Amino acid sequence: MKNLKKLVLTPLLLASLSTFANADDVVDTLNEAIKSYESGEYSVAVEDLNYALQLIQQKKSKGLEAYLPEALPGWSAKKAESQTAGAGMFGGGISTSREYKKGSSRIKIEIITDSPLLQSMMGIFSNPMFAASDGGKLQRINREKAIVKYNEERRRGDITIVVAKRFLVKVEGQKVSLDDLESYAKAIDFKKLKKLP
């Protein structure tokens, strides 16, 4: 009798776990949006679509965290943070960032995608005079064009890189050397980032 119960209950339990594991908030929300649309509740349908979009962006931003480098020797790193911004905030977009520290030195790396800000940055990269007018210089880091700004006296600076016309990478540092900034910029795997769907 015990074996019969096991034989019957085990597949039922596995089936219910499988259904639970396959439950997807995005698909559920899209189905709700379709129902609302079909019943003429257009405002509710729009809300559901916006919510589904936010859920997709959250999943995408979590995926970006894997492209932030680990702490370099002698440094420690905080946990990566991701966020999505609606069109009302800075034109929208997805970003992930991580902070690194060594004594009083601080470096933050941020990767931004799906943002209209990328278009304006690409214009700056195509004209080196724009970069120079703001105190930056154009150089290559891991074969990618970068705008590097560094104030030796204040020991602070930033490196901005546009990757594959899709990602804006910013490396910002305080109480750091230029070598520190460049080392963290070089620690990012741009080839891998370009392959992200």
pLDDT per residue as tens digits for the range 73-82 = 999 999 998 8
90 with 21, same domain: the answer is no
165 with 101, same domain: the answer is yes
55 with 71, same domain: the answer is no
72 with 44, same domain: the answer is no
User: Could you tell me the residue range of the domain that residue 90 belongs to?
Assistant: 67-194
User: If you write DSSP's letter for every residue of 69-98 in order, what string do you get?
Assistant: PPPPTT-EEPPPEEEEE-TTTTT-EEEEEE
33 with 108, same domain: the answer is no
Q: Specify the CATH number for the domain of residue 123.
A: 3.30.200.100
Query: What's the CA gap between 171 and 69, in Å, rounded?
Result: 11
> pTM to 2 decimals?
0.71
147 with 91, same domain: the answer is yes
27 with 79, same domain: the answer is no
73 with 38, same domain: the answer is no
At 86 the pLDDT is 53
40 with 124, same domain: the answer is no
- Check pLDDT > 50 for residue 95: yes
35 with 100, same domain: the answer is no
Q: What angle do the packed helices 25-38 and 42-64 form, to 10 degrees?
A: 160
Mean pLDDT lowest among 29-38, 86-95, 164-173: 86-95
Q: Structural domain tally of the chain?
A: 2
pLDDT tens string 105-124: 999 999 988 777 777 777 77
